[in-house]
Structure 1
Amino acid sequence: MSPKASSAEKADHPGSWKAVGLARAKFMAGERIDMQGIAAELGVDRTTLFRWVGNRDQFVVSAIVSITVPTLKRIIASAKGAGGKRIADVAERYARASIEADYFRKWLESDPERALRLLTSKASPLQQHVVTVFEQLLEEEYADGEGAAPLPLPDLAYLIVRIIESFVFSDLIAGNDPDWTKAGMAVAALLRD
């Protein structure tokens, strides 16, 4: 694999899976993700690790995405209601999981500006992934033709994710306490449910 390998090629390398697994475990233990240390654990040099996972910020986001994927799948599988109610339930429960994860809150508090940039910017792989999940959920809920979405689904999914972010990161953005219930209520109001 060349040093300029695409992110898809990086993600497909078996070494990247092991590296992200180690990073995820360290992140969830509240430890700093140290590329040199993880490279040593894997028996490779830092340059090889960099080729596999990108820079430290990309590596951290990959670890967070690897936590978010199963969390969202679990939440969606057990979501209650239908239509807007189901989507609001998923939004509220996802916000709650994000707020209640002590390791995540610890990381956010350690470097809030970087965390917000990595998680909420348009270029964020995490935000892109979560928007895609909500877009798919909206497609499922509006597929039967019952009721019309208030916006085009990609825009609506993006707005839902921004609502969730505003309540999950409200302490960092506005100095208010994070509140998952408000995320659910706001999404329900948006979807008129």
Structure 2
Amino acid sequence: MSNNPTPLAMALSQRKSEERATPLSAFRMARRWWLEGRRLNLSLLAEELGIGRATLMRWVGNKDLLMGEILWSLYKGIYDQALERANETPGLEGIDYLAQIYNDINVALIESRPLHDFMHNEPQWSLQLLTSQVAGLQQRLMGTWKDLFEKEIAANNINPEMDAESLAFYIIKIGEGAIYCDLICGRQPDPGPANTAFRLLVNGHTR
């Protein structure tokens, strides 16, 4: 019988050294924990990854920035899906196109169980991250909506009285007030008024 190791045995022996932690694997593990409803603990995360806490901090910056990346990944996924649905809806254009995207995003955020759990378990921290510039989330939200508004303005699909950057700022603030404040207080948010306000702000009328 041969004593030479099989390819499987060699692969298994090398797996541990090959599966070294990286900044991306740290993000993925942190995101998975958050989606499961676990609190984000950097010391435990570093221990699970098999690295020092200082290394993890060098990778992610700080706890706020790491959580900002997780929240952005949630929002970006929801936004991309809403955009795809709107693009696939025949005859949808102008304010109706934009309002559908906005409403779909708000509904998805309202129905997000990880977001509910986060705001229930850590209300002060979650509200700070979601409604301020501390984690870089707001800048990304504004940039995403600003680009979309500029595209629709350039195509003459909408003719708002505000510039795209101002529109982006205010529609994000409307969403924050309509969703996060109610979630913090334990109320079920209603996306309807936010959608009406969106139409008024972007196009000057509700229909």
TM-score, normalized by length of structure 1?
A: 0.84
1:135 aligns with 2:142: no
Of the structure 1 ranges 97-106 and 60-69, higher mean CA displacement relative to structure 2 is found in 60-69
Partner of 1:148: 159
Give, in angstroms, the shift of residue 175 of structure 1.
Answer: 7.3
Distance, in Å, in 2 between the alignment partners of 1:173 and 1:22 is: 26
Which structure has more RCO (C-alpha within 8 Å, separation ≥ 6)?
A: 1
Over the aligned positions, Cα root-mean-square deviation in angstroms equals: 2.0
1:58 aligns with 2:58: no
Name which of 28, 43, 55 aligns with 1:48: 55
Give, in angstroms, the shift of residue 153 of structure 1.
Answer: 0.6
Partner of 1:178: 189
Name stretches of at least 5 consecutive residues in structure 1 with no aligned partner: 1-13
- Classify the secondary structure of the residue corresponding to 1:169: helix
Cα pair 2:43 2:53 within 8 Å, conserved: yes
Of the structure 1 ranges 17-26 and 164-173, higher mean CA displacement relative to structure 2 is found in 164-173
Distance 1:134 1:19, change over 3 A: same
1:20 aligns with 2:27: yes
**What is the percentage of aligned positions where both structures have the same residue?**
29
Name which of 34, 41, 44 aligns with 1:37: 44
Distance, in Å, in 1 between the alignment partners of 2:48 and 2:185 is: 40
Cα pair 2:116 2:183 within 8 Å, conserved: no
Counting matched residue pairs gives 180
- Classify the secondary structure of the residue corresponding to 1:191: helix
1:38-60: CA deviation from partner (whole Å, max 9, x where unpaired): 21222211110000002212211
Of the structure 1 ranges 122-131 and 133-142, higher mean CA displacement relative to structure 2 is found in 122-131
TM-score, normalized by length of structure 2?
A: 0.79
1:77-97: CA deviation from partner (whole Å, max 9, x where unpaired): 112521222221111111111
Larger Rg: 2
Name stretches of at least 5 consecutive residues in structure 2 with no aligned partner: 1-20
Distance, in Å, in 1 between the alignment partners of 2:157 and 2:120 is: 43
Name which of 97, 102, 108 aligns with 2:113: 102
1:9-54: CA deviation from partner (whole Å, max 9, x where unpaired): xxxxx82211111111111111111212221222211110000002
Cα pair 1:112 1:172 within 8 Å, conserved: no
1:91-148: CA deviation from partner (whole Å, max 9, x where unpaired): 1111111111111111111222221111111344111111111111111211123442
What amino acid is aligned across from residue 170 of structure 2 in structure 1? L
Runs of 4+ in 1 over 3 A off after TM superposition: 172-177
